[in-house]
Structure 1
Amino acid sequence: MEAIRRRAPEFPAGLEWFNIDCPVSMADQEGRVVLINFGAWSSICCQRTLQDLQTLGRKYGDALVIINVHSPRFSAEMRRSHVLKTINRYHINYPVVHDPDMKLWNIYSIKGWPTQVLIDPEGIILGAISGGGKLPELDQIVKYQLEKSSGHPPVGKLSCPDRRVPEPRSALSFPGRITAADDRIYVADSGHNRILVLSSRGHILRQYGSEASGFIDGNGTSAAFNNPQGMTLADDFLYVADAGNHAIRRIHMRTGDVDTIAGTGRVGQPIHDVCVSPVNAGLNSPCDVAFKDGRLYIAMSGSHQVWRLSLVANTLEVFSGSGREGLLDGPASTAAFSQPSGLALLFNRLYAVDAGASAVRELDIETGAVRTIVGEGLFDFGDQDGSGNVARLQYPLDISADQMHRMLWVTDSYNNKIKRIGVNSEFVSSVAVDRRLDEPGGLVFHNDTLYIANTNAHEIMCLNPNNGHAEALNVAEELVEI
């Protein structure tokens, strides 16, 4: 931990607070350990840190005060509506202060996301810890400081009363991804930790998992997922990127059985050789899957790579990406990604949207070599149509291929738009939509219709890309017996 050792200042006036009725006073926290977490919620690493903080909060209760400073990386993250939605999506139940002008960031001399600043019970800054996966270190420091001050109970009030803004009741909760085949629509109802099979009219025909998060194999609703994301159909199976469980799950469509084919349920370290036991491998926030010739390609967002799982040989390996975050083209072993989040196959190419780099990448299906179609760098983003070197996206999350029209469709999530990219021309253009999009997470082009997971609106949108007319699918809340 980088030592600082000075008294913690009060929070500047004028910042907007969430989850409480008034700003937190540092003077009132005497006798407690205070942990200030600086993060941008677009970062996979920051998202995992939120889970670690929940663990600490449950363990230490009122003796530990956790304050999340939202320090935006993207311009869309400066919106108040974005902050509210993200608080609810990730179930953040401690005070959040929005710092769009990076005032607190500069006061504490923060250098990167995520960073945790620890303050002892006397109000002295102990130091800062940067990076993810720091739960054991944070736990040790908090425990030591509380034991050290055990004879001096807290003297001030804990904080102001809670002030939550819950989401409206709806059949879906933050649906993340979607796919389709024949007359069926498959939805990752991510906020409800379940996979739904819908009819074209929105009737729920099948449900896998329930609202309770977990990592359980089983049949139908007895199985459990944790923030499931991308899916792909192959033969009689639906393969699911179970992002919160760091696992790949398989649903047997004939029987309804759910099993795990890769991952342990816990985040792991990057692999360097071929893994012959995928169920014992540590995955890192897989966000999408694509199937070709008996192999699953996995967008491993947390390790900034694309992995490949052979369903025949039952082996797992890195397909492309060095594991270093960046935007670098070239051979598979040296190419760099930044949170690859969506995959699509078209002819002999695998396409990936690189959320952290606001980019679209093309991978050779044989060698894994990478070429960038759209995107210039980790901090080059915007909302601009045009050729690949001119066009700009902002945190794209999913991509779908249209073989007939040689077209790629992209959810330009933070721009609240759908973009189309011509495979031959590599020209990017915005798709007209006569209905509001709210950070769409997933999409699929099927039967001349774009089905869109309009994530923050808790709905599935059906869009005619030729005339821009969109309608929300009326998803019934009850399962229909068939």
Structure 2
Amino acid sequence: MTRRPRVRAPELQGRAWINTGGKELSLAELRGRVVLLDFWTFCCVNCLHVLDELRELEEAHRDSLVIVGVHSPKFVHEAEPRAVLDAVERYGVHHPVLDDPELATWKQYAVRAWPTLVVIDPEGYVVAQHAGEGHAHAIAALVEELVAEHGARGTLRRGEGPYVPPEPEATDLRFPGKALRLPSGTFLVSDTTRHELVELAADGERVLRRIGGGERGLVDGVPSAARFSEPQGMALLPDGRVAVADTVNHALRAFDPVTGETTTLAGTGAQWWQGDATQGPGHEVPLSSPWDVAWFDGLLWIAMAGVHQLWTYDPASDRVAVAAGTTNEGLVDGPADQAWFAQPSGLAASAERLWVADSETSALRWVEREGEAYRVRTAVGTGLFDFGHRDGPAEQALFQHPLGVTVLPDGSVAVADTYNHALRRYDPASGEVTTLATDLRELSDAVIATAHGDEPGGDEILVVESARHRLTRLRLPEEAVRVEEIAHRTQREATEVAPGEVELDVVFQPPAGQKLDDRYGPSTRLLVSATPPELLADGEGQGTELRRTVRLAAGAGEGVTEGVLHVSAMAASCDDDPENEYPACHMHQQDWGVPVRVTAAGTARLALVLAGLDETADGPA
């Protein structure tokens, strides 16, 4: 093992510990174990990918490795204690979690992005830091190495870890995700945390049947045999089957309400990575965290939250294809192939528009046909870092991480404003946003119910209250609810940078046993932009080098003094084994939104760690 400078890991500080039976943990009492810190926040799909990546590693080294989640919130709602507890259960986190709402531990470890993974050896020293996803293979190899080394030296302490599971609660649904009204008048609900679909009676309460065995898996068949993994959105297909976004399986499934059979329409069960096919036969192309689906313009549209895109599936040709988005995260309108999304999580179709709840930009957007192509437009929302609860004209209105959208009979759009716990309404005719109802705990979807219990109508709506584990029936009000106006911006400490030229350096060291994969061209990619755009005078755009000199706009420091640098980096590596004819290849990628403040005393170098020990980038001290 190559020796690097030894950096003592800072102690863990936060508000409370979860999954420890009420006990506070310290690095001192974890001495003798390999410790992996996972800095995450529950709104972030990349963080959810990492949770899934780490499950196998966690199980394989349960007696020598302790994973500690450090929850570091982006949105105001994510700082609520109850919300963090819910998220830990919702996403099946089976290790201790430190609730760190003030970002105390985040700052101690100089973390700049969600997710970030930090490896600490059994003697309490930081040995590696990785930002983004796709590092599970490298971390697994490092853990094996540390276990072997410290086992031989006598500094490894094996045994049971500190994880204490919470007591299970008996409810019919557990963090349901989405709902769909079937032609029969019953409702199909994705019971996300229990990995099932549940059919409810027309009252939205009585359970008629369950589809899936309640355990993670990707298995087709009859209701008792079928397996899902955190399913979310559903949509009716023309043949009467229900398409299901099987999110953590990275698959598109189909459920037949008549026969009860579940089949797989698209996806391989593996997560899509840069370089994979972007179109082709459904069973041959990987997907990435499909979150919702909707039938629009003769195709099934898929909110591909994991890669910030919209895809389509054509049942007639059994093919999937990218329809909108570039995989860059942000809010950019325009031709569909040039638009940017940020974790699209809700879809609903009207005759002429596909409405999109773009959660990470707290935005309501739509797709419409323009000649032979599609175009993306924004109704409400400004970008990745501004959110709140504000009604009024669309250009001033604010949401907070909405997950669902529903077209109402009058042509307006209901928005499940998830982190505001409110059902909101956008009227395309007037351009106004109003609030329909409040105190709906983490609502994630809504579906038109019935007018008077028998025929479809528009005066009642069923809301999926995910954090209350139920569907709630509401009568749509004739007047809006008045709420106190609240506006927020993501609160992270700004990095002070000097006016003029700033050296942007993304630090990437291929993990041990790997090398950069340049067999088919450049192995790295860097994309840079800014909010506001005028913050940068030069250096924006895409390139292949991970180091770039950017120049702040003339007058920065006098005029534009604050903003956000958006940096997206990708590196491809493969196993460096000359004896292996078919080496395994790995993709490492991360998006950063770095708040910056221009000051005369600021740094002229901004370093971001994609993979490596964060010593060269203002690392832990």
Residue identity matched to 1:225: F
The equivalent residue for 1:398 is: 404
Aligned partner (choices 410, 418, 424) of residue 419 of structure 1: 424
Q: Determine the C-alpha separation between the residues in 2 that align with 1:352 and 1:438.
A: 21
The equivalent residue for 2:169 is: 168
- The secondary structure found in structure 2 opposite 1:51 is helix
Residue identity matched to 2:16: E
> Could you tell me whether the CA contact under 8 Å between 1:432 and 1:468 is conserved in 2?
no
> Could you tell me whether the CA contact under 8 Å between 1:88 and 1:166 is conserved in 2?
no
Of 296-305 and 101-110, deviating more is: 101-110
RMSD between aligned residues = 2.2
The equivalent residue for 1:387 is: 393
Quickly say closer, same or farther: Cα 1:468–1:152, change in 2 above 3 A: farther
Residue identity matched to 2:466: T
Residue identity matched to 1:178: A
Q: Does 1:351 align with 2:362?
A: no
Q: Determine the C-alpha separation between the residues in 1 that align with 2:46 and 2:357.
A: 18
Residue identity matched to 1:198: L
The equivalent residue for 2:199 is: 197
Report the Cα offset of residue 316 of structure 1.
1.2
Report the Cα offset of residue 388 of structure 1.
1.4
Of 208-217 and 151-160, deviating more is: 151-160
Q: Does 1:209 align with 2:212?
A: yes
Paired residues in the alignment total 464
> Could you tell me whether the CA contact under 8 Å between 2:280 and 2:321 is conserved in 1?
no
Aligned partner (choices 468, 473, 491) of residue 457 of structure 1: 468
Larger fraction in strand = 2
- The secondary structure found in structure 2 opposite 1:133 is coil
- The secondary structure found in structure 1 opposite 2:279 is coil
Report the Cα offset of residue 93 of structure 1.
2.0
Report the Cα offset of residue 416 of structure 1.
0.6
Residue identity matched to 1:290: A
The equivalent residue for 2:235 is: 232
Q: Determine the C-alpha separation between the residues in 2 that align with 1:157 and 1:225.
A: 34
The equivalent residue for 2:453 is: none
What do the CA deviations read for 1:123-162 (whole angstroms, capped 9, x no partner)? Answer: 1111310101211011011111111111244577979965
Q: Does 1:284 align with 2:284?
A: no
Q: Determine the C-alpha separation between the residues in 2 that align with 1:178 and 1:418.
A: 15
The equivalent residue for 1:127 is: 128
> Could you tell me whether the CA contact under 8 Å between 1:294 and 1:312 is conserved in 2?
no
Quickly say closer, same or farther: Cα 1:316–1:160, change in 2 above 3 A: closer
Report the Cα offset of residue 252 of structure 1.
2.0
Residue identity matched to 2:429: N
- The secondary structure found in structure 1 opposite 2:302 is strand
Quickly say closer, same or farther: Cα 1:159–1:209, change in 2 above 3 A: closer
Quickly say closer, same or farther: Cα 1:273–1:332, change in 2 above 3 A: farther
Quickly say closer, same or farther: Cα 1:165–1:207, change in 2 above 3 A: closer
What do the CA deviations read for 1:268-300 (whole angstroms, capped 9, x no partner)? Answer: 125786633111111000001111354100000
The equivalent residue for 2:188 is: 186
Q: Does 1:17 align with 2:12?
A: no
Larger fraction in helix = 1
Q: Determine the C-alpha separation between the residues in 2 that align with 1:156 and 1:270.
A: 39
Structure 1: gaps of 5 or more residues: 470-482
> Could you tell me whether the CA contact under 8 Å between 2:346 and 2:404 is conserved in 1?
yes
Q: Determine the C-alpha separation between the residues in 1 that align with 2:274 and 2:233.
A: 20
- The secondary structure found in structure 1 opposite 2:280 is coil
The equivalent residue for 1:65 is: 66
Q: Determine the C-alpha separation between the residues in 2 that align with 1:336 and 1:322.
A: 6
- The secondary structure found in structure 1 opposite 2:382 is coil
Quickly say closer, same or farther: Cα 1:59–1:423, change in 2 above 3 A: same
Q: Determine the C-alpha separation between the residues in 1 that align with 2:105 and 2:5.
A: 15
What do the CA deviations read for 1:198-217 (whole angstroms, capped 9, x no partner)? Answer: 22133333432121221001
Report the Cα offset of residue 440 of structure 1.
1.0
Within-5 A mapping of 1:110-125: 110-125=111-126
The equivalent residue for 2:608 is: none
Normalising to structure 2: TM-score of the pair?
0.71
Residue identity matched to 2:201: S
> Could you tell me whether the CA contact under 8 Å between 1:27 and 1:156 is conserved in 2?
no
Structure 2: gaps of 5 or more residues: 450-456, 481-621
- The secondary structure found in structure 2 opposite 1:410 is strand
The equivalent residue for 2:50 is: 49
The equivalent residue for 1:28 is: 29
Q: Determine the C-alpha separation between the residues in 1 that align with 2:145 and 2:162.
A: 29
What do the CA deviations read for 1:236-282 (whole angstroms, capped 9, x no partner)? Answer: 11111110111111112222211111001121125786633111111
Structure exhibiting the larger radius of gyration computed from Cα positions: 2
Quickly say closer, same or farther: Cα 1:155–1:397, change in 2 above 3 A: same
> Could you tell me whether the CA contact under 8 Å between 2:231 and 2:244 is conserved in 1?
yes
Normalising to structure 1: TM-score of the pair?
0.91
